[in-house]
Structure 1
Amino acid sequence: MKRIDVLRVLLDLAVKMEGVIISNLGFPSRELYHIGDRAENFYMLGSMGLASSIALGLAVSVPGRRVIALEGDGSILMNLGSLATAANIAPPNLTILIVDNEAHSSTGFQPTFTAGVTDLEAIARGAGIPDAVTVFDEKELRSRLEDAIKSERVSVIVAKTEKSWENAPVIDLDPVTIKNRFMQAVRSGLEG
């Protein structure tokens, strides 16, 4: 499974369930923008490791919306505290989807520790998130993501993928535009 396959499944389900996506910086955001730009996608253009923290804050402040954090293995390893914080605050509308290709793909595929002995599912469970699972194909991903989005508990899905990236163009929106249209989409979703 490639990351682009994960993103297609995620986007399809997020649109159907009117969820918002906080996307990890670099190629994941570029690929998501390329396959399905929408105001409900918040693209990180900096701040590696903070997609899950931003998603957590949003889930707490907007309990009426399903919030999905799209993280990478390298990014989540930079901010493991976000898993412990999510476990203790436990917003029922938060799903953290970690794309684990065992590499920092945006900077040249340098290996992350998940290429060694580090197990992100085990870390999430150890942080206190019992709904943590690792998936290896699109069918399993779709099933687990549907369950997570419908559940009333914070959940973590680790999607193991190949080391690959799509030749997606750079996002041509400035950060202020991304922020403003995302905030408007979140507000509109609550009014409707």
Structure 2
Amino acid sequence: MLDRRDVVARLLRDRGETLVVTGLGSATYDVAAAGDDPRNFYLWGAMGGAALMGLGLAIAQPARPVLVVTGDGEQLMGLGGFATIALQAPANLTIVVLDNGLYGETGGQRSHTSGGTDLAAVARGCGIADASRITDMADVEALAAAIAGPSGGPRVAVVVVDTAEAPRVLPSRDGAVLRGRMQAALGLAA
């Protein structure tokens, strides 16, 4: 299994103009640990909403790559979002699900993915053709290179990571601040 911090650090190392939306918990801590950036939008308390927030951003900013980094527990809460994303089909949206098979923010209970739910298969079943399961760093490297370029539609990558907990890196929790700095990074009036 892969180390989640290594995976996220690699995905963001050469991010270019990529906008990032995080799911709550460890995904947020991992992205912040890779380096806080005004183009990062951290969701707090919005379980199940990261992929759809990424969809909205991808539609609003079609010339910029949008990367959602979330966990399996958070994505399980928003399964229906895959169908909406498939219908809208933004070519600039990549959703990375860090799958450790646990609900990390609520005490480490086993999630449905540890019992057989395959989020990549769910995404494909909803109409997202580019949905894969990643278990090695070579595939993470290929994904990192692909994020900045458009695809034939949205992309979902379920990355199998270990269950180790890294120290928390806490970015701002102030939604108005996060929104304002993202708007400024995009050159939009606040």
The alignment's TM-score, normalised by the length of structure 2, stands at: 0.92
The gaps in structure 1 that reach 5 residues or longer are none
Identical aligned pairs, as a percentage? Answer: 34
Contact 1:4–1:165 (CA<8 Å) still a contact in 2? no
The letter of the residue matching 1:60 is: I
The aligned counterpart of 2:100 is 101
Contact 1:22 1:43 in 2 (8 A): yes
* Preserved CA contact (<8 Å) 2:172 2:178: no
| 1:144 aligned partner | 143
Q: CA deviation at 1:179?
A: 1.3
Moved over 6 A (4+): none
- Which residue number in structure 1 is paired with residue 4 of structure 2? 3
CA shift, 1:173, in A, is 5.1
Change beyond 3 A, Cα 1:18–1:184: same
Greater shift in the superposed pair: 176-185 or 143-152:
143-152
Q: Identify the residue that residue 175 of structure 2 maps to in structure 1.
A: 175
Q: Which moved more, 1:149-158 or 1:75-84?
A: 149-158
Distance 2:14 2:84 in 1: 25
Q: Single out whichever of 28-37 and 51-60 deviates more from structure 2.
A: 28-37
Specify the alignment match of 1:186 in structure 2: 186
Structure 1 residue 170, shift from structure 2 partner: 2.7
Letter of the aligned partner of 2:138 in structure 1? K
Shift of the 133–148 alpha-carbon distance from structure 1 to 2, 3 Å rule, reads farther
Letter of the 2:3 counterpart: K
- How far residue 91 of structure 1 moved from its aligned partner, in angstroms, is 0.7
Contact 2:103–2:111, Cα closer than 8 Å, also in 1 = yes
The equivalent residue for 2:39 is 40
Aligned length: 186
> Structure 2: which 5+ runs fail to align?
none
SS in 1 for 2:117: coil
Aligned equivalent of 1:160:
160
User: Is this contact kept in 2: 1:9–1:138, CA < 8 A?
Assistant: no
Output the CA distance in 2 between the equivalents of 1:66 and 1:185: 14
> Are 1:73 and 2:82 matched, yes or no?
no
Q: Structure 1's 44 and 137: CA in aligned 2 closer, same or farther, altered over 3 A?
A: same
CA distance in 2, matches of 1:148, 1:36: 18
* Aligned position for 1:13: 14
1: CA distance between counterparts of 2:122 and 2:146? 21
Which stretch shows the higher mean deviation, 63-72 or 173-182?
173-182
Deviations 1:95-130 (A, max 9, x none): 111111101112221111000111111111101011
Amino acid at match of 1:154: P
User: Partner letter of residue 136 of structure 2?
Assistant: D
Q: Aligned-pair RMSD on alpha carbons?
A: 1.5
